[in-house]
Chains A and B, each alone.
Chain A
Amino acid sequence: MTGPSLDDVTDSPDELDDETATQLVKEAAEVQDMTGEVCPYPQVEAKKAVQQLDEGALLVQETDHVPSTENVPRAVGDDAEAKVWRSGNGLYRIYLWKQ
């Protein structure tokens, strides 16, 4: 996952629009409430949960910790495909599809 050059530092997951983001939460296999948690606990919990999921299943993490939107997708690496939704007022959701 970690590329060797400086350009990979700007990689962050694609963002979802409000409607899709709300719809996807209903389809999620698991929703983790990670608000009030700081690094690295969202990463640890995401890795644990993804290991339990079936292939293609969706894990959603709700977080108010900005760095998690980049760190959590990095932490699960190739185990899941990640997308992010930003509310604009400090709340985020991270969508992880088990690969």
Chain B
Amino acid sequence: MVLQLLIAAVVGIGLGIFLQKGRFCFVHAFRDLFAFKDSRVTKGVLAATTITMLFWSIAYELGHYQKFWTPGWGLTGLIGGFIFGVGMTYAGGCASGTLYRAGQGYLHFWLTLVSMGIGYTVFTLLFPTLQTVYFDPLTFGEGLSLFTVSPVPAPMLALLVTVGVVLVYSTVVGREQRNGTVDQTVATDGGRRTSATVAGFQSLVHGTRQYVRGFTEIDNWVAASKRPWNPITAALGITVLAALWFTQVSIVGVTGPEARWTGYLLKQAGLDSGSYTYWGSVLFKGEGVNITVDMIMITAVIIGAFIAAYWSGDFSIRVPKRRRIPNAVGGGLLMGAGSRLAPGCNIGNIYSGLAELSIHSFIATIGIVAGVYVMTHWIYRDIGCAV
């Protein structure tokens, strides 16, 4: 138990530091891609998810893992994910983004956290009804991870998916590059056009080399640590911590532990939260409303983010403008409710869920990204979006 608490502290503080330093935000990753084709953080998310999948597949194959998180699949992922996506775009931060910015001193995101708590509570009160009118009719099948049903060994499957991701990525990048510099491409290969995939792959290799070489050029590590870090560095750090967490506790989730915190805090306030079906038998699995190790982990994320922000000179108490209160409150409520309706947030579904190849998470990811897309177009309605 002491060891588990120690691991929770290390993983949580580490995640907080990497999220804050890499400004690793899933709203940023998709919103800015749609709004003005900025793909820096999107690449970080893609790298983190793919490399985590490789690590986890190996841990699974060797039996060094605790458990998968595989809710039943159906339209719930699409609907709940969409509501969550709209909520996180309106609030200005995803589930993990809200946590690390709370640690950075944003009162806006503390308000979002409280609103998410209200969202979890409302959902819990409505759960018995939702079970019959929403979950039962809209869930089509048992949730599962492709790792468990694939005829090829999990690491082989993960490798195949990675090759697929790299091919698609290279093709997209190669095409964009060609559109940007048509004349140059023709000139360098003597009029013979290399395929977009090859060009994109070369650019990926070149970029990776540049990235690694960047470290050799750092002469003052203390000063460099205070500057913003490359999202790829954050992605690699998060991957290592997620691998540790997977072998010791579970997959990385944020809103599940937050919903447990809500039940726990309400119990401290005098409510018999364990008597509600959702808290009692779903979230706490009938083991009583007590602090669990993943609740400690996500709390440590806030502490890690505070340490990183303080070290970098980025910490300050930020008071939101009055006109942004609806964003914090409304976005938080939608995120809280949406993450339960899906179920799962951006971290549970886009990061962990895709990395464990869960059927449910593929559907929920589509829902979340669609929600971000629609909301981004609404927020940018005056100036327009690129995509």
- For the complex, is A67 an interface residue (Cβ under 8 Å from B)? yes
Asked if B315 and A90 make an inter-chain contact with CB atoms under 8 angstroms apart, the answer reads yes
- For the complex, is A40 an interface residue (Cβ under 8 Å from B)? yes
Contact with A along B202-222 (1 / 0, CB 8 A): 011011101100100000000
Considering only residues 168-187 of chain B, those with a C-beta below 8 Å from chain A are 173-174, 176-177, 180
Q: Complex formed: what's the CA distance from A37 to B379 in Å?
A: 14
Q: Complex formed: what's the CA distance from A40 to B173 in Å?
A: 25
Contacts A88-B313, A90-B105 known; A71 to B38 CB distance under 8 Å?
A: yes
Asked if A66 and B228 make an inter-chain contact with CB atoms under 8 angstroms apart, the answer reads yes
In the complex, what's the smallest C-beta–C-beta distance from A20 to chain B, in angstroms?
A: 19
Which of the 9-residue segments A7-15, A21-29, A53-61 touches chain B?
A: A7-15
Which of the 9-residue segments B39-47, B245-253, B268-276, B286-294 touches chain A?
A: B39-47
Asked if A71 and B104 make an inter-chain contact with CB atoms under 8 angstroms apart, the answer reads no
- For the complex, is B31 an interface residue (Cβ under 8 Å from A)? yes
Contacts A40-B31, A44-B379 known; A75 to B36 CB distance under 8 Å?
A: yes
- For the complex, is B106 an interface residue (Cβ under 8 Å from A)? yes
Q: Complex formed: what's the CA distance from A50 to B158 in Å?
A: 46
Q: Complex formed: what's the CA distance from A82 to B228 in Å?
A: 17
Q: Complex formed: what's the CA distance from A70 to B40 in Å?
A: 11
Interface residue from B32, B105, B176, B208 paired with A74 (Cβ < 8 Å): B32
A-side contacts of B214, CB under 8 Å: 7, 10
Which of the 9-residue segments B77-85, B146-154, B254-262, B316-324 touches chain A?
A: B316-324
Considering only residues 292-323 of chain B, those with a C-beta below 8 Å from chain A are 309, 313-316, 318-321
Asked if B321 and A8 make an inter-chain contact with CB atoms under 8 angstroms apart, the answer reads no
- For the complex, is B383 an interface residue (Cβ under 8 Å from A)? yes
Interface residue from B43, B93, B382 paired with A44 (Cβ < 8 Å): B382
The A-B contact count (CB < 8 A) is: 124
- For the complex, is B277 an interface residue (Cβ under 8 Å from A)? no
Q: What total of chain A residues lie within 8 Å of the partner, measured CB to CB?
A: 37
- For the complex, is B342 an interface residue (Cβ under 8 Å from A)? no
Asked if B37 and A2 make an inter-chain contact with CB atoms under 8 angstroms apart, the answer reads yes
Q: What total of chain B residues lie within 8 Å of the partner, measured CB to CB?
A: 55
Contacts A7-B211, A75-B36 known; A90 to B313 CB distance under 8 Å?
A: yes
Contact with B along A53-94 (1 / 0, CB 8 A): 000000000001111001100110100000000111111000
Asked if B44 and A47 make an inter-chain contact with CB atoms under 8 angstroms apart, the answer reads no
Asked if A40 and B35 make an inter-chain contact with CB atoms under 8 angstroms apart, the answer reads yes
- For the complex, is B54 an interface residue (Cβ under 8 Å from A)? no
Nearest B residue to A36, CB-CB: B321
Interface residue from B43, B92, B314 paired with A66 (Cβ < 8 Å): B314
Asked if B204 and A74 make an inter-chain contact with CB atoms under 8 angstroms apart, the answer reads no
B-side contacts of A74, CB under 8 Å: 32, 36, 38
Contact with A along B187-212 (1 / 0, CB 8 A): 00000000000001001101110110
Asked if B380 and A39 make an inter-chain contact with CB atoms under 8 angstroms apart, the answer reads no
Q: Complex formed: what's the CA distance from A2 to B179 in Å?
A: 12
Q: Complex formed: what's the CA distance from A35 to B206 in Å?
A: 39
In the complex, what's the smallest C-beta–C-beta distance from B100 to chain A, in angstroms?
A: 11
Q: Complex formed: what's the CA distance from A94 to B214 in Å?
A: 25
Q: Complex formed: what's the CA distance from A57 to B23 in Å?
A: 30
In the complex, what's the smallest C-beta–C-beta distance from A5 to chain B, in angstroms?
A: 3
Q: Complex formed: what's the CA distance from A74 to B23 in Å?
A: 15
Give B contacts to A, CB under 8 Å. 23, 25, 27-28, 31-32, 35-40, 43-44, 92-93, 101, 104-106, 108, 173-174, 176-177, 180, 200, 203-204, 206-208, 210-211, 214, 228, 230-232, 309, 313-316, 318-321, 324, 327, 376, 379-380, 382-383
Sampled A-B contacts (6; CB under 8 Å): A7-B210, A39-B93, A64-B318, A66-B104, A74-B36, A90-B313
In the complex, the 7 A-B pairs of residues with the closest C-beta atoms, listed nearest first? A90-B316, A6-B207, A5-B207, A38-B92, A7-B210, A36-B321, A88-B313
